[in-house]
C-alpha cells in the first residue's frame, strides 16, 4: 500500500521557509519539469499518471477544452492496482463543475474595477475553494480507512488560493499547515508530489518552473514527473 498526496502548486521554497516537517518527510527536493514548455497543471498531471510527456496532445485541445481531459483508466498506472482510489485528479476524475466555478470567479475578479466589489469577489472565490478543500479532505480520510491498494488524494487549495492571495503570507502559511497536517495523518509509504510550485507576481501567484516531491522511504534525487509511474509501481508492487 502506498499513498500519494498530490498537491497542486506546492512551492519548494515555502515548504522550506515555513519548515513544514511532514510535507518534507525524510527525503525531499524539486522535480525537473524543464521538458515542458510551460508549467501547466493539466499537462503535468496527465504526464504523471501515464508516465509519458502528454504536452503536445493536451495543448492541441486548446485552453478551454484541455480542462475536460479524461484520460482512460487503462492508460494510467493506476490500472496496475487491483483496487485503487484516486480522488479528484485533473485529467482523470476532477470535479469539472468546481473548476468551472473557480475560473468564472477568477475572471470576474480581474474584470471588476471597483476595489470594494473586487474584495467581495475574492472573498467568494476563497470561500468556494476552502469549501471544496474541506469536502476533498473528508473523502480522502474516508478512503484511507478503505480497502484500497493505492490511494491518491489531490488537493488544489494551494494553487487556487495562491493565484489570488500569494502575497498574503499568513493565509498561505495556514494552508501549508493544513496540508502538513493532512500528510501527518497518512500511515505507511507515502509520496508528496506537486506538479509545479508558485512564485509571487505582485500580490498574486503564478506557477514556478519546478515541482516538489518528498518520501518517507528513499531519496529520489531530481526526478521528472513522468518518473513517478515507475517509482510508485516499484515501491508498491515491486514491478
In angstroms, give the least distance from the CB of 194 to Zn ion: 7
- Nine-digit cell at 125? 472565490
Helices (H), the chain: 12-17, 21-24, 41-50, 55-59, 96-111, 115-144, 157-165, 169-184, 228-237
Q: Give, as ranges, the residues between 176 and 195 that touch Zn ion (CB under 5 A).
A: 195
CA-to-CA distance for 210 and 161, rounded, in angstroms?
A: 19
* Binder among 3, 25, 41, 47 for Zn ion (CB under 5 A): 41
Is 8 or 88 the residue whose CB approaches Zn ion more closely?
8
Which DSSP string do the residues of 164-177 spell out, in sequence order?
Answer: HHTT-HHHHHHHHH
Say if residues 235 and 217 touch (Cβ distance below 8 Å): yes
Of 2, 4, 7, 8, the one binding Zn ion by CB under 5 A: 8
Q: Which is nearer to Zn ion, 41 or 46 (CB)?
A: 41
Q: According to CB under 5 A, which residues from 62 to 121 bind Zn ion?
A: none
Considering the complex, state which of residue 157 and residue 236 has its C-beta at the smaller distance from Zn ion: 157
CA distances from 37 to 1, 41, 210, 212, 230 (A): 34, 12, 12, 18, 23
| Stretch of 3-11, 49-57, 60-68, 175-183 contacting Zn ion, by CB under 5 A | 3-11
CB-nearer residue toward Zn ion: 130 or 217: 130
Q: How far is the CB of 1 from Zn ion (least distance, A)?
A: 26
Amino acid at each position: 500500500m502506498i499513498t500519494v498526496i498530490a498537491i497542486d502548486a506546492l512551492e519548494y521554497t515555502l515548504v522550506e521557509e515555513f519548515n513544514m516537517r511532514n510535507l518534507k518527510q525524510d527525503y525531499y527536493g524539486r522535480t525537473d519539469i524543464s521538458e515542458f514548455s510551460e508549467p501547466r497543471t493539466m499537462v503535468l498531471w496527465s504526464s504523471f499518471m501515464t508516465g509519458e510527456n502528454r504536452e503536445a496532445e493536451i495543448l492541441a485541445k486548446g485552453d478551454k477544452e484541455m480542462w475536460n481531459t479524461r484520460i482512460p483508466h487503462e492508460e494510467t498506472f493506476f490500472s496496475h492496482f487491483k483496487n485503487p482510489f484516486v480522488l479528484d485528479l485533473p485529467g482523470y476524475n476532477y470535479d469539472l463543475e468546481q473548476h468551472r466555478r473557480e475560473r468564472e470567479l477568477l475572471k470576474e475578479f480581474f474584470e471588476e474595477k471597483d476595489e470594494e466589489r473586487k474584495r467581495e469577489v475574492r472573498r467568494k472565490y476563497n470561500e468556494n475553494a476552502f469549501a471544496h478543500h474541506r469536502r476533498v479532505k473528508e473523502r480522502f480520510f474516508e478512503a484511507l480507512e478503505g480497502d484500497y491498494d493505492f490511494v491518491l488524494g489531490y488537493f488544489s487549495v494551494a494553487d487556487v488560493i495562491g493565484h489570488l492571495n500569494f502575497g498574503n503570507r499568513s493565509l498561505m502559511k495556514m494552508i501549508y499547515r493544513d496540508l502538513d497536517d493532512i500528510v501527518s495523518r497518512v500511515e505507511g509509504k507515502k509520496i508528496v508530489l506537486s506538479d509545479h510550485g508558485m512564485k509571487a507576481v505582485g500580490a498574486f501567484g503564478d506557477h514556478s518552473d519546478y515541482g516538489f516531491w518528498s518520501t518517507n522511504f528513499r531519496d529520489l534525487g531530481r526526478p521528472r514527473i513522468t518518473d513517478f509511474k515507475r517509482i510508485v509501481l516499484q515501491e508498491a508492487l515491486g514491478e
